[in-house]
Structure 1
Amino acid sequence: MARSGNAGSSRRDRRKRSGGPSSGPAAGRPSVSAEGAIIIFAKAPVPGTVKTRMCPPLIPDEAASLHGSLVMDAVERTRSLRGFDVFLACTPGMDHPFFQTLAARHRIRLCDQVGEDLGQRMDHALTAAFTRGYAHAVIVGTDIPNLAARHYERATALLQTTDVVLGPTEDGGYYLVGAKHPVPALFADIPWSTGEVLTQSLAGAERAGLIVGLLDPERDLDTFDDIRAFLHNDAGSGRLSTRTGNVLHTLIQRHGEASPG
């Protein structure tokens, strides 16, 4: 198991690394317009399929409204970035009207998520990015209201000296994964949707001899109590979009303060 370290630090396995990072786009690969790829993993905001752990007290329509706002935040906050092409990896499919509207409004590309579980889907997305010729790629979810350009910039900086970058969440998962070559070992045999995701991912990275860098931890929004905690602790940071802030405050007004735990 890889030892825990400070945020932003790197981890080096004591054994000799097996193989090195890719040196750049291989000959014959399709040309790309940027060095890096940002891949936003997103579900369509269909009531009853998103933010289900918030229901109750939320009703499915409210949960879907919040989810849709968070997806839009994730896309909009990539607009100021330079050096990245942005992809929206969609489920159930990129033909959903929500995704088509986002693609028309913003300069992003759509693709489908491919794989049986989250690990397979992330592995496929990263491998596809490197096949296209990107030198590094970052995958993010849509549950972090404070996700900002600084996260991508710090991840890119860490990838200069690491194989993998992870952004831990406070519940034991991670909100961001970046790499500069395929890392299938990072996604193998992980108990997804549990508090062991980060720990087991770090252990897999250590077994594979991968150097891992860590970003600062962030709070994700999975439960109604997460909304309460976020508004109490983080909303004053100034990084919350007006749209999502209004949604969160409306939900608190409607349903009251959720009891801790």
Structure 2
Amino acid sequence: MTAVVVIAKACLPGRVKTRLTPPFSPEQAARLAAASLDDTLATVAALPVGRRVLFFDGFGIADAPASAAGFEVVPQPAGSLDERLAHVFDLLDEPTLLVGMDTPQVGAAHVAAALDGFAGGEALADLPPAPCPDAWFGPAADGGFWALALRRPRGDVLRGVPMSRADTGAQQLRRLRDAGLRVALLPTLTDVDTAAEARQVAAGVPGSRFAAELARIAAELGRAA
């Protein structure tokens, strides 16, 4: 059984997407975060996997969004981000793909390689099977990462990696390889942290909840002006 984990926090004003303020208000930034999370959960809900987990930083499981229906809700422990990520990879036993809530553009095609790899993939009839990767790594355009998949989950390959830095992705990838893991890369995606990134991502997924919420906020700001 394959597990997909979405790591997220409660979308409360002043607590999420603070780099979007300004130009957006804390309430508008929280609405964008909620739309991004809803899009991500909808994508994961449609994936052909056996287990879906919302790894949630909130005030209680009851605070999880309605879009998490059908997901196991696992509360995040206290600690730094690397410790929390390590915790969930220590907690699960099955092949696990972790994605963040900041890439509402993520679709099934972006994670297909990892999920197909977990399932064994399909070797070409006239070629010997290639060694299957142990891990799949999704780089983010800002130097971080938006996804990490491990065939055999283990938290030690995350614990101690400095997070929220321009070299976080490079350091995490190095840690995986230094542990002797065969790593394959997923597509590079843009995390939404700034207004410019929000507009860029929304333009690529015009039918998404995220794009619709950004359009509503733009209209509000236009009226306010």
- Indicate if the aligned counterparts of 2:137 and 2:183 stay in contact, CA closer than 8 A: yes
Match of 1:223 among 194, 200, 214: 194
Amino acid at match of 1:101: A
1:199 correspondence with 2:170: yes
1:113 correspondence with 2:113: no
What secondary structure sits across from 2:92 in the alignment? helix
1:149 correspondence with 2:108: yes
CA separation of 1:197 and 1:85: change in aligned 2, threshold 3 A: same
Q: 1:58: how far off?
A: 0.8
What secondary structure sits across from 1:181 in the alignment? coil
Q: 1:100: how far off?
A: 6.0
Corresponding residue for residue 90 of structure 1: 56
What secondary structure sits across from 2:199 in the alignment? helix
- Indicate if the aligned counterparts of 1:54 and 1:224 stay in contact, CA closer than 8 A: yes
- Indicate if the aligned counterparts of 1:118 and 1:192 stay in contact, CA closer than 8 A: yes
Corresponding residue for residue 250 of structure 1: 216
CA separation of 1:88 and 1:173: change in aligned 2, threshold 3 A: same
Corresponding residue for residue 125 of structure 1: 88
The two structures have a TM-score, normalised by structure 1, of 0.74
Corresponding residue for residue 190 of structure 1: 161
Kindly indicate which of the two structures has a greater share of residues assigned to helix. 2
**1:205-244 superposed Cα distances (whole Å, 9 cap, x missing partner):** 2221111111011111111121233345x246xxx41x22
Q: Give structure 2 stretches of 5+ with no counterpart.
A: 121-131
Q: 1:73: how far off?
A: 1.1
What secondary structure sits across from 1:50 in the alignment? coil
- Indicate if the aligned counterparts of 2:86 and 2:159 stay in contact, CA closer than 8 A: no
- Percent sequence identity is 27
CA separation of 1:191 and 1:67: change in aligned 2, threshold 3 A: same
1:50 correspondence with 2:16: yes
**1:180-220 superposed Cα distances (whole Å, 9 cap, x missing partner):** 21333431332211111111012212221111111011111
Amino acid at match of 2:110: H
- Indicate if the aligned counterparts of 1:93 and 1:112 stay in contact, CA closer than 8 A: no
- CA RMSD for the aligned pairs? 2.0
What secondary structure sits across from 1:119 in the alignment? helix
Match of 1:170 among 131, 138, 141: 141
Question: In the aligned structure 2, how far is the partner of 1:52 from the partner of 1:206?
Answer: 33
What secondary structure sits across from 2:164 in the alignment? coil
Corresponding residue for residue 69 of structure 1: 35
Q: 1:255: how far off?
A: 4.7
Q: Give structure 1 stretches of 5+ with no counterpart.
A: 1-34, 257-261
Q: 1:126: how far off?
A: 1.7
- Indicate if the aligned counterparts of 1:123 and 1:183 stay in contact, CA closer than 8 A: yes
- Indicate if the aligned counterparts of 1:115 and 1:124 stay in contact, CA closer than 8 A: no
Amino acid at match of 1:44: A
